[in-house]
A and B are shown apart, each in its own frame.
Chain A
Amino acid sequence: MARDEKLEKSEKNAHEKGRAHKGPSLWEIFSITAKIGGVTLGGGYAMIPIIREEFTKKHDFLTDEEFTALLVIAQSLPGPIAVNTSTLVGYKLKKLPGTICAVLGSIFFPTIIILAIAMVIGEYYTVFKPFLNGMKAPLFSVLLITVLKMWKTDVRTLEDIIIFAVAFIIVSFLKFNPVVIILLGLVYGVIRSTVLKGERKNGK
């Protein structure tokens, strides 16, 4: 609720101040997201402050509140956060054409670079192999420590631990389809949160 009001309010404010968005062109949307997508290594949350900076400060296309409201939506959905955020920013600014340009921009350089590597690496695989093997050696630690860090915030109750253990075992050792397990987790989450909501209502 509060978020809704915030969104409307921020839109109203922008109007009252007489600074209805200077509409960016589609090319501007594409070039800004392409620039961000091209320089941010590793992707993920590292990109968010840069996207915010570009769209709210450097170019006055969105207010900070508007960006935050979009970010909340982007985080709750599947998909890379950078792509979801680009989708929403593009849509807010220029509807569907804006979305298309923003998404194409955000994946432009990543796609070209990987495609180039995929084309070259086949030819020189034996040359690259020792380097690649070296690069792969720390990945187990990288993932394990990611798990440990997420554990602190995401696995808190006994229920969480059981869900973790069941999901981990059936996917790792019984080779269940992870896509199905995530969907089941989602269904369970929906049931649990609607039940919780009902309980809270009854309690009041």
Chain B
Amino acid sequence: MSTYIELFLTFLQIGAVSFGGGYSILKSISHYVVDVNKWITLDEFNDIVAISQSTPGPIGINAATYVGYKVAGVFGSFLATFSVVLIPITLSIIMYWLYRRHSENEIVKSTIQKLRPVIVAMIASASLGFLQDSFGSIPGIIITIISALVLLFTKVGILPLMLISGVIGIFVFR
């Protein structure tokens, strides 16, 4: 029972501060799931990020589903997924009403604007978790550099890039 409660509270908190969407949630998840609770290893967490990038759905949902399953089976996966969206859904409905009655939108907007540098910092910090995958081997370093150039100078998306890199991985990371 206590595992379920822990899973619920953990993903509830992670979801509550997942401003900015997408990658900004990664650092919160890895902090709780890898560093504090040790439910999965950093390597496994990185696997989840890679899988999430190539399947439909927001990364926060995907990570919650996967970790929930690892920790407490099928019910755990539904519980974690539910927990991570519970506060965003509740806040959305509250804001829907507030928004129609008063217009505090300016304050909300400028608050979020002030929060942006923190969000960018969380993504920068999350990137450090991938240093070993990217710079731990010669092929890794080559893929990292080529990926950066491809992303900067071409219109190739993240998904084809990762799939190609995955296929290369079959031959070089055995």
Interface of A with B (CB < 8 Å)? 1, 3-4, 7, 37-45, 69-70, 72-74, 76-84, 87-88, 91-92, 96, 99, 103, 107, 109-111, 113-115, 117-119, 121, 129-147, 150-151, 153-155, 160-161, 163-165, 167-168, 171-172, 175, 177-179, 181-183, 185-186, 188-190, 192-194, 196-197
Cβ 8 A contact of B21, one of A3, A80, A119, A144:
A80
Other A-B pairs beyond A4-B103, A73-B95, A119-B69, 14, CB < 8 Å: A42-B159, A76-B109, A78-B18, A78-B88, A110-B55, A111-B78, A113-B57, A121-B47, A136-B49, A140-B130, A143-B23, A182-B115, A183-B17, A197-B110
Interface residues of B toward A: which range? 35 or more
B-side interface mostly: helix
Q: Do the beta carbons of A160 and B116 come within 8 Å of each other?
A: yes
Collect the chain A residues with CB atoms within 8 Å of residue B163's CB: 135
A29 to chain B, nearest CB (A): 14
Residues of A within 8 A of B22 (CB): 43-44, 80, 146
Does A150 lie within 8 Å of B85, measured CB to CB? no
Q: Do B16 and A78 touch (CB < 8 A)?
A: yes
9 A-B pairs with least C-beta separation: A134-B169, A79-B88, A110-B57, A80-B58, A189-B114, A138-B147, A185-B118, A154-B116, A143-B127
A73 touches B99 (CB 8 A): yes
Residues in chain B within 8 A of chain A (CB atoms): 13-19, 21-23, 27-28, 31-32, 35, 46-47, 49-62, 65-66, 69-70, 74, 77-78, 81, 85, 87-89, 91-93, 95-96, 99-100, 103, 105-128, 130-131, 133-135, 139-140, 143-145, 147-148, 151-152, 158-159, 161-163, 165-174
Question: Which residues of A are found within 8 Å of B13, using beta-carbon distances?
Answer: 179
Chain B residue with minimal CB distance to A134? B169
CA distance A178 to B51 in the complex (A): 23
B61 touches which of A80, A164, A172 (Cβ 8 Å): A80
Main SS class of interface, A: helix
Q: A4 and B99: CB pair below 8 A?
A: yes
Shortest distance between the CB of A144 and any CB in chain B (Å): 5
- Distance from B164 Cβ to chain A, minimum over Cβ atoms (Å): 8
A169 vs chain B, min Cβ distance (A):
9
User: Nearest chain A CB to B174's CB is how many angstroms away?
Assistant: 5
Beta-carbon contact of A88 and B158 below 8 Å: no
Q: List 9 A-B contacts (CB under 8 A).
A: A78-B91, A110-B56, A117-B51, A118-B66, A135-B54, A140-B135, A145-B152, A165-B121, A189-B111
Residues of chain A lying within 8 A (CB to CB) of residue B134: 136-141
Asked if A77 contacts B95 (CB within 8 A), the reply is yes
Contact, CB under 8 Å: A77 / B92: yes
For residue A92, which residues in chain B have a CB less than 8 angstroms away from its CB?
Answer: 96
Q: Is the CB of A138 within 8 A of B55?
A: no
Task: Name the A residues within 8 Å of B173 (CB-CB).
Answer: 129-130, 133-134
B86 → A minimal CB distance (Å) = 9
Minimum CB–CB distance for B111 against chain A, Å: 4
Q: Point out the residues of chain B lying under 8 angstroms from A141, CB to CB.
A: 134, 144-145, 147-148, 151
> With A and B bound together, what is the CA distance between A146 and B151 in angstroms?
10
Taking the closest CB of chain B, its distance from the CB of A74, in whole angstroms, is 7
Q: Which of B17, B121, B167 contacts A167 (CB 8 A)?
A: B121
